[in-house]
Structure 1
Amino acid sequence: MNLKKAVQIGDIFAAPLPMNKYGAVKVMNIIDRSYLLGITSYIEGKLPTIESKAVHQTLITESIADGLRKPLLEWVDGKLPKELIFIENIPLTTNEIGVESNIYAGNWSKECSMEVYYEWRRKTDPEGFELEMKRKIEEADTYARRHSIPKPKKMMDDQVFWGIISLFDLGKKNEEEMVEFAIKELSTFTAWQIRHFEEALSYKLFLLDTIEHAKEIGEYCFSEQNQAFSPDLFLYARCAVVARGQKVFEDILSNPKKMLKNTEFEILLSLSSEAYYLKKRKELEYISGCSYETFSNREGWLEEL
């Protein structure tokens, strides 16, 4: 039973795994309600202790992006899962202090240590593990096709989000000058708050992604007769709506016939990445829960799809 009241950097938690085994994670960093977890190499049929050697070793896995083997570190949000068991607090080592990761694993769940189980299965029963994974992928794909409804991840508070949007100077002729103040303001937030802004932006664009809105964008509107309809232009038209602020967005969301005509604002899509680069001097790598790409809102295009 987990009796830990407040999670601290250095906390070690045991996590349940299949086949009556346990894994372990170590809290490497905390920002607001987000936690950076180091997935350790521990996997046994009993609870770990601080004497367990593998608890002090972060699992090394191969990166899909570059093929290099790296320590597995993941950011998670939310509350400590009740299924996790507090073991002890072990202060960070010199090598652990300041470690970073751009991997976001969603809400903190009891399965936060599953990767060590997968690694163990790959080594001890590669054929059986491959068959099991294929079966799970097929089941997940079937379920997704029938039931999947995109859901946003953690988003920035609406008041803060629209406050940043209100900094656009739409009177400028140059688009980069229009968003300059908004980028500078957003760059003062934490890295994860910038991701939360991107999530909120993606979700609002996703909500506008409907056939009814696409029919009202002007010259390149969607219709069976108009072969000039462009999914990209429709995305940029939705950006223009969000750029006009909360009142315009909510009005057009509820009444597609008020959709802005022959207007676009593509630069909105780069706001988060520009702010993130200004803050961290590196590229923003983030996948939102709801895609803003045209046709992603399947219910909004149900008539056509």
Structure 2
Amino acid sequence: MTDFWTVIGSSSVEDAREIDSALERISERLSTMTPAALTRFAERLQESLYRIDRRDLAELPVVLAGGLKLPQTSDHFLYARCACILAGEKAFADVLSSGAGFDHFVAPFAQEAEGLLYLAPEQYERQTGSRMTVDSDFSIESMSNVQGWAN
């Protein structure tokens, strides 16, 4: 079994280019995994996203280049959580324990991290010819409402 955080690795997530590079690296690692391992990876991703689905993080504003502050949408918040996971296990643990550093992932460039959601299902479909089914208490569809907040 391949460890989730080993597959994720870590990235400084400073710009869209670094996010794209991290996604390519993860995609390469996923390409060597069995369909069962891909499903476990997707389950673990959903659980990790759920664990940082917190109101205090969702309420951090998006700060645009001109200094304009806007509230996060539910999609923006989901992609910011993906960026946090791309940053690696330590960044994730810091955010989980104290929320520290999550504001970095709310930046507009971090929306590129959305691609993390599709890597395992796309690889699974390439290998099997069918869509991945993830049986989890942490489905993406249930997020942002389970923790008691919604936009």
| CA offset digits 1:231-269 (Å, max 9, x no partner) | 000000000000000000000111124212313311110
- Determine the C-alpha separation between the residues in 2 that align with 1:214 and 1:255: 14
Matches within 5 A, 1:1-305: 160-166=3-9, 173=17, 176-216=20-60, 218-219=62-63, 228-259=71-102, 260=104, 261-262=106-107, 263-264=110-111, 265-293=113-141, 294-298=143-147, 301=148
State the aligned residue count: 139
How far 1:281 moved relative to its partner?
3.8
Q: CA deviation at 1:218?
A: 3.2
CA contact (8 A) 1:164 1:186 kept: yes
Higher helix share: 2
Equivalent AA in structure 2 for residue 210 of structure 1: R
Q: Which whole-Å deviations, capped at 9, do the CAs of 1:102-123 have from their partners, x for residues lacking one?
A: xxxxxxxxxxxxxxxxxxxxxx
Residue pair 2:82, 2:116 contacting (<8 A) in 1 also: yes
Taking a change above 3 Å as real, the CA distance of residues 230 and 296 of structure 1, as seen in their structure-2 partners, is same
Which one-letter code corresponds to 2:4 in the other structure? F
- The structure that has the greater radius of gyration is 1
Tell which has more relative contact order, 1 or 2 (C-alpha 8 A, sep 6+).
2
CA RMSD of aligned residues (A): 3.0
The structure carrying a bigger strand percent of its residues is: 1
1-structure distance, mates of 2:34, 2:47 = 20
Instruction: Check 1:163–1:189 CA distance in 2 against 1; reply closer, same or farther (3 A cut).
Output: same
Q: Tell me the alpha carbon deviations over residues 262-293 of structure 1, each in whole angstroms, 9 at most, x when there is no partner.
A: 13311110121122133224432334321235
8 Å contact 1:206–1:290 — kept in the other structure?
Answer: yes
Shift of residue 175, structure 1, vs aligned partner? 5.2
**1:258–1:168 Cα change, 3 Å:** closer
Structure 1 residues not aligned, in runs of 5+:
1-155, 221-225
**1:161–1:217 distance in 2 versus 1, CA, 3 Å:** farther
Q: Is the 8 A contact 2:19 2:86 kept in 1?
A: no
Q: Which sections of structure 2, spanning at least 5 residues, go unmatched?
A: none
User: How far is the alpha carbon of 1:189 from its aligned partner?
Assistant: 1.8
Identity %: 27
Q: Deviations over 1:90-139 (max 9, x none)?
A: xxxxxxxxxxxxxxxxxxxxxxxxxxxxxxxxxxxxxxxxxxxxxxxxxx
1:172 is displaced (CA, Å) by 7.3
1:217 deviates by: 5.0
Q: Aligned pair in 2 of structure 1 residues 238, 217: CA closer, same or farther (>3 Å)?
A: farther
Residue type at the aligned position of 1:161: F
Q: State the partner residue of 1:61.
A: none
TM-score (norm 2): 0.74
